[in-house]
Amino acid sequence: MTDILIKNGYILTMNEDREIIKKGDIAIEGDQITDIGEDLEKNNSEKAIDARNKAVLPGLINAHTHLSMVLFRGVADDLDLQTWLEEKIWPLEANLESEDVYIGALLGCLEMIKSGTTCFADLYFFMDRVAEAVEKSGLRANLAYGIIEQNDPEKRKKELEVGKKLVKDLEGAADGRISTMFGPHSTYTCSVDCLKEVRELADKHDVGIHIHLSENEREVEDVVDMYDKRPPELLDSIDFLASDVLAAHCTCLNEHEIDLLQRNNVKPVHNPVSNMKLGSGIAPVPELLSRNVPVSLGTDGAASNNSLDMFDELKFAALLSKIGKKDPTVVPARKALETATIHGAEAIGRENEIGSLEPGKKADIILVDMKKPHLTPIFNIESHLVYSCNGSDVDSVIVNGEILMNNREILTLDEEKILKDGQKTAEKLAEKV
């Protein structure tokens, strides 16, 4: 029996052929898509969803964020990265408690559901509490504990133990919706010995690694001063780079470093809004894509964005590369959509499960209401999704075959309570600094 039948939608499959069905149906049984086509039989379906005037596409994948930093939205704006981190964010984070992170994670999950993100890769602290929020919300997530040991052997031991516990306890949790990674913060906050241990642990536990890489010129200069190597070169010299490495930012890559990422099948994550806001630089996305490197897309944390809206990120991803290259043909709309769907799935090693709409894949699907003034007329729906849509146009969200939002109504979370708790918790943290 079909549990959910989506009818009459404008379907962007994002499959290998990037097939588009202008008036099509999707059948869902349990947590999987079982059929896609035109005029599917609707008899014996538990629930039918009328998708007329709606785009139906894979749920967006936010491949790099720090979810609970929504609590710091707007408290540290218009600063460079090091000032932002050292004078504003780290003092705030020093006061974070487990419950604060849980409340922030719920607020972040709420924002993502309402703007069409169905899966995210998170790198932060108290990740067991983030996992609780993920399970409650119904979203899919890839979680990593942010390891910062600053060449302190005793701290290294403790940090790695926390990372190992996360992988041991939470890999495959929430009915398989949660996967895990190891999360060394960066080459300037983790020693070479720490990075080597992380690589060994990731291999041993068969999980990936989530790291910040070459986010700005200051970071590169600091690493060169310490090791006489740029960050990608340093990681390559210790055999750290591999296909399971999720590398956030990558704004400062030279040709040799692009070669290193391509050769090792590293998965770079573009974070255009955060990179622009912090003045960090422009990632060489066209060069990476031209070499078939599957660039994915992320918002970074809401403290440096200040939003988790992946539709905003899609637009800026396309536009930033165009202005950076002074070439309007680079990163066209379809390529941008790939970064937030199938490339995002590849980035976290789940391309066989999510990232496109195909029979046998998980039912992670969003419906976008196209009957809006700012989306009329429709000539090219891919163009509209990238250049005209925003998160508030998302009408319904399905993850793992469960409806999380229907006609803008959140079904898994108490929206009013989360907003109230989020405001209260953020004010409490701000008062401590």
Residue list for the binding site for Zn(2+)? 64, 66, 212, 300
From 90, 78, 23, select the one nearest 56 (Cα to Cα): 23
Q: Hunting for tokens 């720490």 — which residue is that?
A: 194
Q: How far apart are CA 160 and CA 194, in angstroms?
A: 8
Beta-carbon-side half-sphere exposure of residue 197 (alpha carbons within 13 Å): 19
As annotated, the binding site includes 64, 66, 93, 185, 212, 215, 300
DSSP-derived secondary structure letter, 59: P
Backbone angles phi, psi at 14, to 5 degrees: 60, 25
Least Cα distance to 218 among 236, 201, 231 occurs for: 231
Structure tokens at 75: 């408290």
* Strand pairing report for 365-369 and 54-58: antiparallel
Rounded distance between C-alpha atoms, residue 400 and residue 204, angstroms = 28
The candidate with the shortest Cα–Cα distance to 56, out of 30, 87, 33, is 33
Q: By the 8 A CB rule, do 299 and 277 touch?
A: no
What does DSSP assign to residue 362? B
Which residues fall within 8 angstroms of residue 37, CB to CB, at 6 or more apart? Answer: 21, 24, 25
Output Rg (C-alpha) for the chain, integer angstroms: 21
Beta bridge partners of 28: 4, 33
Residue with tokens 């005793």: 154
